[in-house]
Chain A
């Protein structure tokens, strides 16, 4: 009972003197890769609740009715996204074996496909028949399906945009020489998030708006 606080005080002295953050040197005590993975999975599970809420709103408002969407364009966008995800995984595989140039090229191509996707959604937005009168204040012409369509695709594009920014940041870090065969969590994380955004399109946004 008497020895413990003394030990703690001594430790406090040592700890006070070092200044560069305090979490680094006992990292080996914990399963850091596992911690990172679990954090990312929980975040993605939480974000998917947002998409579920919007999908629920779409059914609540519009039932199973559907507006005049461009199914061919939707299918094309889906293929683009899947290709983009595939490229992301090529990047992870490449940096795992130390192929930095291939990783950078794959991430840049994946980002490019992301930009093409956003442009495609822009085309859909500007041509959609139910979107012509969507100007504030709440327009009497905005149909329930139009409301859900713009909100859901908008939410998805917002996520895609954050993923795009992340991809470009990680590509820049790769270019500067960060990450390598032993340490590629940053690449894995952003690619996994990128895939998550694609999966949200594939299993929530696309079926609920285009296929139903």
Chain B
């Protein structure tokens, strides 16, 4: 195949490695120029209104004089479109607009480094980006655990600790939001529903190329003093801290835009582009889960954008949303959590979907209670908007609200339970193939149970009043997000890596990775429940002396948990770079869904001809029809069954 392919598409000369990076370098240059223009515009506006073009930052009793912040903000607004243009987004359109000669679209490896509109390229771009962000943010966690090895440790100053903690938080939240949807969603949702691409390929490229803006801005914010307000960025602190906070707010608004546009793309793709015969009852459960998360991303993200914008307005133009006369910091908590609680379902619903997918295929059984699992997803979307204030039981909001939010929070465990029971029923009496992806999916089931059960104590007002802002909360949400979503992410990674790259990962290295990650994850986070019950505060660089031993134990296990990723990275690099790494066949797992009916990796337009879906994706052992057949182009009477 490779011999044929190179003979057919032999380029005139091999493009150099540097030329591949040309779009990114051009994008950076454009961004700097755009920033300079925007900064000049801001300075011009300041002069026009009678202020000096720039004044050194001074601290006053009500905040800082924000000339730097105003200039940075306008510069940022100009830099983002300039970056997109430089990196090749809309290049053909813009060239036509100005009458330049258009260039052919690159089809070799260089397409991974430019604004390609192919959903599979974008999926891999997301995956590579967020695996790197995951590892870097993981190093942040390691840094925090070094600091917390003993009480009153002098490894980091409290200020640096707060900044590291804030960075770890937002970076991991961004991984949780976008790694699963962006990479596996983009790559596999169109293939699984039998489409050639997403509904809006250009918008898809836009969604991805906004992500580097977010990451670079978060790092550049350190030049402005960083930000120390955590990923939640509550005012009044976030209105009064260092100017790095402005970069944080701008970056996360851009991230929200990317998330919204991506969500809309998934909704339209799933509703409008399913292949003939792909009825709602035959849609793979992963697609259902991404669709549900996409609804939450499209509508709730606006409330986070609104909260961050209000903070920016307070800082930049002197409104009084959160400080000053009549300002109300609780307003931020409401609008923030109105997004950020549903956001945890953006994290975890695609994780559920991936785990159910892997469990069904590798248990060799039909997915148990498919319809109830779908009902669970829809139920969670429906209820996700009425539980947010359980994050605010000790915030001082009216006590009449405590009871209702306790009840709604407990109720949302019903749809969640439906999904969980579907997972259990699927593996029940199955012939499990205990391969690496299956182990991760089973690990997900175990961890998520602990995460879910401990959540009950945080939903109940009397217990939450004591447990709020302790390590009990830290342990709980790491169990749901790492133990739930990230374990499912790795299940999907090991499951779909052969399909995406055409290479097989080493099972042995994969299993070492799983067992180390599973054991040390539990040894790291289980003791945190205990530490939290004994009063250890979250977000603080030190703790009381009697918790020294348990924290040392946690830190050592955290380092071992971190080191498990060495096996993961080595495994991936080995498969990609080692010339003798085993090649993947089309369907190494003997699975039924559409992506396994085409070659590994899939051809550019996914299918030889439009697939016709004729049966369930999970009909294992039932002797029924296949999931889909292809009518060959030009010979429509001859059907090739898969």
Contact = CB atoms under 8 A, between A and B. Distances in A.
Question: Which of A12, A39, A49, A137 has the most chain B CB atoms inside 10 A of its CB?
Answer: A137
B321 A134 contact: no
Contacts of A141: 325
Contacts of B9: 13, 16-17
Interface string A86-108: 00000000000000000000000
A154 B310 CA distance: 12
B326 A136 contact: no
B605 A3 contact: no
A212 interface: no
A12 B604 contact: yes
Contact of B104 (A9, A19, A23, A139): A19
Interface in A35-69: 35, 38-39, 42-43, 45-47, 49-50, 53-54, 56-57, 60-62
A203 B587 CA distance: 54
A47 B325 CA distance: 29
B65 interface: yes
A136 B597 contact: no
Contacts of A30: 195, 272-273
B264 A7 contact: no
B5 A35 contact: no
A5 interface: yes
A35 B632 contact: no
Contact of B66 (A15, A20, A62, A136): A136
B196 interface: yes
A142 B62 contact: no
Counting chain A residues whose Cβ lies within 8 A of the other chain, the interface size class is: 35 or more
Interface stretch (A73-81, A144-152, A189-197): A144-152
Interface in B571-624: 585-586, 597-599, 602-605, 607-608, 610
A29 B195 CA distance: 10
Contacts of B299: 45-46, 49
Contact of A23 (B196, B320, B586, B607): B196
Contacts of A49: 299-300, 302-303
B640 A3 contact: yes
A39 B604 CA distance: 24
A15 B120 CA distance: 14
B324 A4 contact: no
Interface in B292-318: 298-303, 305-307, 309-310, 313-318
B534 interface: no
B603 A15 contact: yes
A150 to B, nearest CB: 6
A147 to B, nearest CB: 4
B321 A147 contact: yes
A150 B316 CA distance: 13
A12 B320 CA distance: 59
A167 B328 CA distance: 38
Contact of B118 (A12, A22, A61): A22
Given A4-B586, A39-B264, A13 B4 contact: yes
Given A11-B603, A21-B105, A137 B63 contact: yes
Contact of B117 (A23, A45, A62, A134): A23
B200 interface: yes
A20 B317 CA distance: 47
B65 A136 contact: yes
A154 B92 CA distance: 34
B60 interface: yes
Contact of B197 (A23, A57, A61): A23
A144 B306 contact: no
Nearest to B195: A30
Contact of B8 (A13, A38, A53, A142): A13
Nearest to B306: A53
Contact of B105 (A20, A134, A144): A20
A22 B604 contact: yes
A65 to B, nearest CB: 10
A175 to B, nearest CB: 13
B268 A39 contact: yes
Contact of B328 (A61, A138, A143): A61
Interface string B111-124: 00000011000000
Contact of B598 (A5, A16, A140): A5
Contact of B317 (A8, A10, A57, A134): A134
Given A39-B268, A50-B306, A12 B319 contact: no
B331 interface: yes
B604 A43 contact: no
B566 interface: no
A57 B273 contact: no
Nearest to A38: B268
Nearest to B605: A15
B8 A57 contact: no
B30 to A, nearest CB: 19
B517 interface: no
A191 B272 CA distance: 23
B599 A136 contact: no
A9 B608 CA distance: 9
Nearest to B69: A136
B63 A138 contact: yes
B331 A57 contact: yes
A13 B4 CA distance: 8
A18 to B, nearest CB: 9
A72 interface: no
B326 A61 contact: yes
Interface of B: 1, 4-5, 8-9, 60, 62-66, 70, 92, 104-105, 107, 117-118, 195-197, 199-201, 203, 239, 260, 263-265, 267-268, 271-273, 298-303, 305-307, 309-310, 313-321, 323-328, 331, 334-335, 338, 585-586, 597-599, 602-605, 607-608, 610, 630, 632, 640, 642
The 7 A-B residue pairs whose C-beta atoms are closest, nearest first, are A12-B603, A15-B604, A53-B306, A144-B326, A49-B302, A136-B318, A137-B63
Given A39-B199, A138-B63, A144-B326, 17 more contacts: A11-B607, A13-B5, A16-B5, A20-B104, A21-B92, A30-B273, A46-B302, A53-B335, A54-B306, A60-B328, A137-B65, A138-B62, A139-B318, A143-B326, A144-B325, A147-B327, A150-B313
Interface of A: 1, 3-5, 7-13, 15-17, 19-23, 26, 29-31, 34-35, 38-39, 42-43, 45-47, 49-50, 53-54, 56-57, 60-62, 134-144, 146-147, 150-151, 155
